[in-house]
């Protein structure tokens, strides 16, 4: 592991945001499942919604049975019972939300939680999807749904670290840029976020994905781009980003790749 | 300052992803073949034949094929009623929901108890068979014969069995799901190996190298040739267990499971595949081994618990490992699908207040009934451990008891169907057959076999001959399960009487 201190540089001017780049925060969707990790996500969702004045929606996805996993003897449909329980969890979730946040909540069904959240994010036209990471204090395992989202979400995905309190206001936006790509899509997104939230923006370069050497301020968030393997307008968490994720005490926001000609060629060559 | 507008959670589901589960059908769609695969995988032919051929042969001798074919009739009749109930009330808990709705909470509770008991018992049997074949497979792979005998070592056997059940419970708790490809491979493998086994057995008969070559006789197919009604009833109760599982195809709703064709077609094909396979294998086994009580004879009590373990080597030679793998994979997969069921039944009972609300607890992370899963696997483990110590023929006794229990709860459910639809039964000829005649006949037949078997099983020499104090162990088990059920029901009634006082409410759909 390299112990070289990452270079942090504060951008002088915020980049001009073109209108066709939807990196402003207007609608935030929180994937909620009633567990502790979901509560981390909810606190992060509220924190971002308050900072950006965005509308917040809480989404609970009830998983449908897979056809090829029959229960024997047949027991009928338990999804309704689970959905009812889910409504109870949603009610508890709503009680955690301060009154100044515009809030709605929904229950939907899907073959997997990740699929359900992606469908809900598209339907809500969400600019950001928030989930708990389940990663923290060096633990590597995430919820299977989070794992799937990290490799397929079409909307930016924010991961709340374990035990995220959300008490600090968002104070700083960091953009992770790699040393060999000076211009990065994440830079633009971070700049426009910082502008909307009225906070400073800095670029960070990691060496060997070592995120421990930085003194991350409370209230900071880190934006990172997807791996070059990502499909068009999709996320894909690269190796470096995955390493960073396990060490990061602040929320990590993974941005999907934009549709660029260069990327199209790469995607084709990968196929 | 933003305006605060709090919309209540949408009741039920978003219109966009609506109640219409058919969206995205292409991914999870099940055609006729898929339905058959699910049906066959649920029946788990390799496991079932291995565990039940011996006990059935001991009851009805060479009339095995006849009993297998006749035993299917009540199953079919009851399943027709099941399908009607499933369309009317697709809610969780099946027997529990339906019997409570038709006959009130007390009978509903007891019917559900029998279903729970059967599923929890069969868990231990599935895992027990898996243990035998696990050590047999290792021994065949390594060529070390002593490994196969490890299963006879009671502590090792119990520990291995509990480990298998714990793994199955964990998979079920995590909500991990079998894929389509996995099920296709598993089912094809089972069918191929069983057919192969049959062909090999016939070849031995033809070349004169069979253990006890028995000339085929049409009398094997004559159910009236069975020596007594008791023996016949015992055989039927066991064959009910053998077919236990095929009705899963009928209860697959077009809506919830994405069946692209009528489940009826898939069910019919499943029947043909399974009855054909069972007939072929039993004919081959009878021809090869006969029903004598010697060495490899199907009447030999030493091998009856697990016929394939004894016959695989002599019939298939070095390829016997395939049989072990087929039975092992079949019981493991069946263990998985059966693990889900009691947990969900308890979930439903907890939800409706028939059991403590603890059972309705759902793990938020995996959306599975965590508490109920753990309870059912603990009961199954304790049951197996105690039985393994008490009885030399634990698997045999469990199967016989299971056959009885299944007869009972199927019978009760069939009569619930008759009673529930009593007003609509005269609407049309189809309604009359499906909602009244078929389930009534099937239910009565199954209950007759149940009472006959229960009566016979008091005899200490019944079945495997396990007994306690001069009374057959199977009878004691059956009575014990009933008494426990009544006790648990009364305790629940004292704790929270609401469920027993109010009229049972559930979602009901009109059926045509």
Question: Could you tell me the domains of chain B?
Answer: 32-501 (1.20.1740.10)
Average pLDDT value for residue range B32-58: 89
| Interface touch B92/A67, C-beta < 8 Å | no
Minimal CA separation from A262 to chain B, in Å: 32
Q: Which residues of B touch A100 (CB under 8 A)?
A: 1-2, 4
User: What pLDDT is stored for residue B377 in this prediction?
Assistant: 95
Is the pLDDT score of A8 beyond 80?
no
- The backbone torsions φ and ψ at residue B507, rounded to the nearest 5 degrees and listed phi first, read -70, 130
Q: Which residue of B has its CA nearest to A105?
A: B9
| Interface touch A34/B364, C-beta < 8 Å | yes
Contact predicate A90/A32, CB 8 Å: yes
User: What pLDDT is stored for residue B4 in this prediction?
Assistant: 34
Dist CA A255 CA A257 (whole Å) = 6
* Angle, alpha carbons B234-B235-B236 (nearest 5°): 90
| Interface touch A34/B338, C-beta < 8 Å | no
> pTM of the full predicted structure?
0.85
Taking the Cβ of residue B112 and every Cβ of chain A, the question of whether any pair is shorter than 8 Å is answered with no
Is the pLDDT score of B244 beyond 50?
yes
Is the pLDDT score of B178 beyond 90?
no
- A-interface mutation test, from B1, B2, B38, B266, most A Cβ less than 10 A away: B2
Q: Which of residues 48-107 of B touch A (CB under 8 A)?
A: 86, 89-95, 97
Give the alpha-carbon dihedral of B490, B492, B495, B500, to 10 degrees.
-90
| Interface touch B9/A107, C-beta < 8 Å | yes
User: What pLDDT is stored for residue A130 in this prediction?
Assistant: 96
| Interface touch B119/A73, C-beta < 8 Å | yes
- Phi-psi domain of B104 (left: phi exceeds 0; alpha: psi -120 through 50; beta: other): left
Q: Which tens digit of pLDDT belongs to each residue from A121-157?
A: 999 999 999 998 876 544 555 677 888 898 888 999 9
Using 50, 70 and 90 to split pLDDT, how confident is the model at B451?
A: very high
Taking the Cβ of residue A179 and every Cβ of chain B, the question of whether any pair is shorter than 8 Å is answered with no
| Interface touch A104/B7, C-beta < 8 Å | yes
Contact predicate B257/A67, CB 8 Å: yes
Q: What are the distances in angstroms from CA A80 to CA A191, A245, B79, B119? A: 44, 36, 24, 23
User: What pLDDT is stored for residue B259 in this prediction?
Assistant: 57
| Interface touch A99/B364, C-beta < 8 Å | no
Using 50, 70 and 90 to split pLDDT, how confident is the model at A93?
A: very high
In the block, residue with structure tokens 């409570």: B100
Q: Which two tokens stand for residue B12?
A: 């039920």
- The backbone torsions φ and ψ at residue A135, rounded to the nearest 5 degrees and listed phi first, read -105, 135
Taking the Cβ of residue B344 and every Cβ of chain A, the question of whether any pair is shorter than 8 Å is answered with yes
Mean pLDDT of chain A: 81
User: What pLDDT is stored for residue B21 in this prediction?
Assistant: 37
Q: Which of residues 259-318 of B touch A (CB under 8 A)?
A: none
Using 50, 70 and 90 to split pLDDT, how confident is the model at B278?
A: very high
DSSP secondary structure letters along B366-421: TTB-HHHHHHHHHHHHHHHHHHHHH-TTHHHHHHHHHHHHHHHHHHHHHHHHHHHT
Q: Which residue of A has its CA nearest to B259?
A: A67
Dist CA B455 CA B491 (whole Å) = 28
| Interface touch A72/B248, C-beta < 8 Å | yes
SS3 state of residue B68:
helix
Percentage of chain B exceeding pLDDT 70: 92
Taking the Cβ of residue A109 and every Cβ of chain B, the question of whether any pair is shorter than 8 Å is answered with yes
- Phi-psi domain of A75 (left: phi exceeds 0; alpha: psi -120 through 50; beta: other): alpha
Dist CA A160 CA A21 (whole Å) = 24
Q: Which residues of B161-192 are buried (b: 16+ CB within 10 A; e: fewer)?
A: bbebbeebbebbbebebbebeebeebbebbbe
Taking the Cβ of residue A81 and every Cβ of chain B, the question of whether any pair is shorter than 8 Å is answered with yes
Taking the Cβ of residue A53 and every Cβ of chain B, the question of whether any pair is shorter than 8 Å is answered with yes
DSSP, res B224:
G
| Interface touch A70/B38, C-beta < 8 Å | yes
Q: Which tens digit of pLDDT belongs to each residue from A33-79?
A: 988 889 999 999 999 999 999 999 999 999 887 778 888 887 877 88
Q: Which two tokens stand for residue A215?
A: 């003194």
Of A76, A102, A107, Cβ closest to residue B3: A102
Taking the Cβ of residue B151 and every Cβ of chain A, the question of whether any pair is shorter than 8 Å is answered with no
| Interface touch A68/B247, C-beta < 8 Å | no
Contact predicate B399/B121, CB 8 Å: no
Q: What are the distances in angstroms from CA B191 to CA A186, B44, B158, B184, B241? A: 55, 10, 30, 11, 19
| Interface touch B9/A106, C-beta < 8 Å | yes
Minimal CA separation from A112 to chain B, in Å: 11
Taking the Cβ of residue A85 and every Cβ of chain B, the question of whether any pair is shorter than 8 Å is answered with yes
Q: At what angle do helices B320-352 and A79-95 cross, to 10 degrees?
A: 60
Using 50, 70 and 90 to split pLDDT, how confident is the model at B441?
A: very high
| Cα Rg of chain B (Å, integer) | 23
| Interface touch B364/A123, C-beta < 8 Å | no
- A-interface mutation test, from B40, B340, B352, B370, most A Cβ less than 10 A away: B340
- The backbone torsions φ and ψ at residue A247, rounded to the nearest 5 degrees and listed phi first, read -115, -5
Of B6, B38, B256, Cβ closest to residue A77: B256
Contact predicate B344/B116, CB 8 Å: no
CB proximity list for A21: less than 8 A, separation 6 or greater:
A188, A189, A192, A258
Is the pLDDT score of A268 beyond 60?
no
Dist CA B408 CA B447 (whole Å) = 6
Q: Which residues of B377-409 are buried (b: 16+ CB within 10 A; e: fewer)?
A: bebbbebbbebbeebebbbbbbbbbbbbbbbbb
Closest to B242 (Cα-Cα) out of B65, B380, B77: B65
Minimal CA separation from B21 to chain A, in Å: 8
| Interface touch A102/B34, C-beta < 8 Å | no
Taking the Cβ of residue A242 and every Cβ of chain B, the question of whether any pair is shorter than 8 Å is answered with no
Q: Which residues of A touch B416 (CB under 8 A)?
A: none
Of A66, A75, A109, Cβ closest to residue B17: A109
Taking the Cβ of residue A102 and every Cβ of chain B, the question of whether any pair is shorter than 8 Å is answered with yes
Contact predicate B244/B410, CB 8 Å: no
Q: Which residues of B touch A75 (CB under 8 A)?
A: 92-94, 340-341, 344-345, 348
Closest to A144 (Cα-Cα) out of B366, B166, B177, B367: B366
Is the pLDDT score of B356 beyond 70?
yes
Taking the Cβ of residue A88 and every Cβ of chain B, the question of whether any pair is shorter than 8 Å is answered with no
Taking the Cβ of residue A92 and every Cβ of chain B, the question of whether any pair is shorter than 8 Å is answered with no
Q: Which residues of B touch A69 (CB under 8 A)?
A: 177-178, 336-337, 340
Residues in a beta bridge with A107: A60
Taking the Cβ of residue A130 and every Cβ of chain B, the question of whether any pair is shorter than 8 Å is answered with no
Average pLDDT value for residue range B471-489: 93
Mean pLDDT of chain B: 86
| Interface touch A111/B2, C-beta < 8 Å | no
* Angle, alpha carbons A198-A199-A201 (nearest 5°): 125
In the block, residue with structure tokens 């969707």: A29
Taking the Cβ of residue B469 and every Cβ of chain A, the question of whether any pair is shorter than 8 Å is answered with no
Dist CA A215 CA A231 (whole Å) = 33
Using 50, 70 and 90 to split pLDDT, how confident is the model at A242?
A: confident
Q: Which residues of A touch B345 (CB under 8 A)?
A: 75
Q: Among A251-260, B22-31, B36-45, B397-406, whose mean pLDDT is lowest?
A: B22-31
Is the pLDDT score of B256 beyond 70?
no
Q: Which tens digit of pLDDT belongs to each residue from B196-216?
A: 999 999 999 999 888 888 888
Q: What are the distances in angstroms from CA A78 to CA A82, B107, B305, B395? A: 6, 22, 36, 31
Percentage of chain B exceeding pLDDT 90: 45
Of A74, A76, A85, Cβ closest to residue B362: A85
Residue ranges per domain, chain A?
22-67+76-255
| Interface touch A105/B336, C-beta < 8 Å | no
Of A64, A70, A76, Cβ closest to residue B93: A76
Fold type of domain A22-67+76-255: Rossmann fold (3.40.50)
Of B16, B175, B258, Cβ closest to residue A123: B16
Q: Which of residues 196-215 of A touch B (CB under 8 A)?
A: none
Q: Which two tokens stand for residue B443?
A: 């239910």
Q: Among A256-270, B117-131, B491-505, whose mean pLDDT is lowest?
A: A256-270
């Amino acid at each position: 592991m390299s112990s070289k201190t990452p270079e942090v540089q504060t951008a002088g001017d915020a980049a001009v945001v073109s209108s066709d780049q939807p990196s402003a925060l207007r609608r935030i969707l929180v994937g909620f499942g009633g567990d502790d990790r979901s509560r981390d996500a909810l606190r992060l969702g509220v924190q971002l919604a308050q900072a950006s004045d965005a509308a917040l929606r809480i989404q609970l996805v009830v998983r449908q049975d897979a056809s090829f996993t029959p229960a024997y003897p047949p027991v009928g449909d338990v999804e309704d019972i689970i959905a009812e329980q889910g409504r109870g969890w949603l009610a508890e979730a709503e009680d955690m939300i301060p009154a100044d946040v515009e809030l709605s909540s929904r229950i939907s069904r899907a073959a997997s939680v990740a699929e359900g959240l992606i469908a809900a994010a598209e339907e809500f036209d969400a600019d950001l999807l928030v989930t708990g990471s389940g990663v923290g204090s060096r633990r590597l395992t995430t919820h299977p749904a989070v794992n799937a989202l990290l490799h397929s979400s079409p909307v930016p995905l924010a991961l709340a670290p374990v035990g995220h309190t959300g008490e600090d206001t968002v104070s700083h936006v960091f953009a992770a840029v790699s040393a060999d790509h000076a211009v990065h899509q994440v830079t633009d997104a971070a700049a426009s976020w910082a502008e909307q939230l009225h906070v400073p923006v800095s670029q960070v370069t990691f060496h060997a994905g070592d995120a421990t050497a930085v003194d991350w301020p409370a209230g900071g968030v880190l934006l990172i781009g997807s791996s070059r393997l990502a499909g068009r307008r999709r996320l894909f968490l690269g190796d470096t980003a995955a390493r960073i994720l396990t060490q990061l005490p602040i929320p990590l926001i993974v941005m999907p790749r934009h549709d660029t000609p260069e990327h199209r060629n790469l995607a084709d060559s990968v196929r | 300052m933003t305006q605060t507008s709090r919309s209540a959670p949408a009741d039920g589901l978003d219109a966009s992803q609506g109640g219409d589960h058919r969206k995205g059908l292409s991914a999870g769609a099940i055609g006729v073949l898929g339905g058959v695969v699910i049906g066959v995988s649920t029946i788990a032919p390799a496991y079932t034949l291995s565990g039940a051929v011996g006990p059935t042969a001991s009851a009805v001798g060479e009339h095995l094929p006849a009993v297998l074919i006749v035993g299917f009739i009540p199953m079919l009749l009851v399943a027709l009623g099941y399908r009607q109930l499933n369309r009317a009330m697709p809610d969780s808990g099946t027997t529990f929901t339906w019997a409570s709705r038709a006959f009130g909470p007390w009978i509903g509770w007891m019917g559900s108890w029998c279903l729970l008991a059967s599923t929890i018992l069969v868990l231990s049997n599935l895992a027990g068979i898996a243990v035998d074949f696990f050590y047999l497979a290792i021994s065949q792979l390594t060529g070390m014969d002593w490994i196969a005998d490890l299963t006879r070592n009671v502590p090792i056997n119990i520990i291995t069995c509990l480990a298998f059940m714990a793994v199955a419970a964990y998979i079920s708790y995590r909500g991990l799901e079998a894929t389509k490809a996995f099920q296709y491979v598993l089912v094809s493998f089972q069918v191929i190996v069983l057919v192969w086994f049959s062909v090999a057995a016939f070849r031995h008969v033809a070349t004169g190298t069979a253990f006890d070559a028995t000339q085929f006789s049409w009398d094997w197919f004559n159910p009236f040739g069975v020596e007594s009604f008791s023996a016949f009833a015992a055989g039927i109760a066991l064959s009910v267990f053998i077919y236990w599982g095929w009705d899963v195809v009928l209860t697959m709703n077009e809506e919830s499971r994405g069946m692209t064709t009528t489940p009826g077609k898939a069910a019919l094909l499943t029947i043909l595949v399974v009855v054909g396979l069972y007939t072929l294998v039993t004919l081959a086994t009878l021809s090869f081994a006969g029903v004598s009580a010697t060495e490899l004879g199907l009447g030999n009590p030493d091998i009856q618990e697990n016929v394939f373990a004894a016959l695989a080597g002599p019939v298939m030679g070095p390829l016997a490992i395939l049989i072990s793998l087929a039975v092992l994979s079949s019981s493991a997969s069946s263990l998985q699908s059966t693990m889900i069921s009691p947990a969900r039944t308890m979930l439903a009972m907890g939800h409706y207040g028939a059991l403590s609300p603890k059972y309705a607890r759902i793990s938020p992370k995996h959306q599975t009934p965590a508490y109920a899963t753990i309870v059912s696997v603990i009961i199954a483990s304790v049951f197996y451990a105690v039985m393994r110590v008490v009885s030399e023929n634990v698997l045999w006794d469990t199967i016989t008891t299971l056959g009885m229990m299944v007869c009972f709860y199927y019978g009760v459910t069939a009569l619930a169907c008759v009673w529930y639809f009593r007003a609509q039964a005269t609407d049309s000829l189809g309604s009359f057959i499906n909602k009244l005649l078929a389930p009534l006949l099937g239910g009565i037949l199954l209950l007759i076999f149940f009472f006959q078997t229960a009566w016979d099983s008091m005899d200490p020499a019944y079945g495997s001959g396990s007994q306690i104090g001069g009374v057959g162990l199977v009878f004691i088990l059956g009575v014990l399960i009933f008494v426990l059920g009544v006790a648990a029901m009364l305790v629940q009634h004292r704790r929270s009487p609401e469920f027993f006082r109010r009229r049972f409410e559930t979602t009901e759909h009109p059926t045509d």
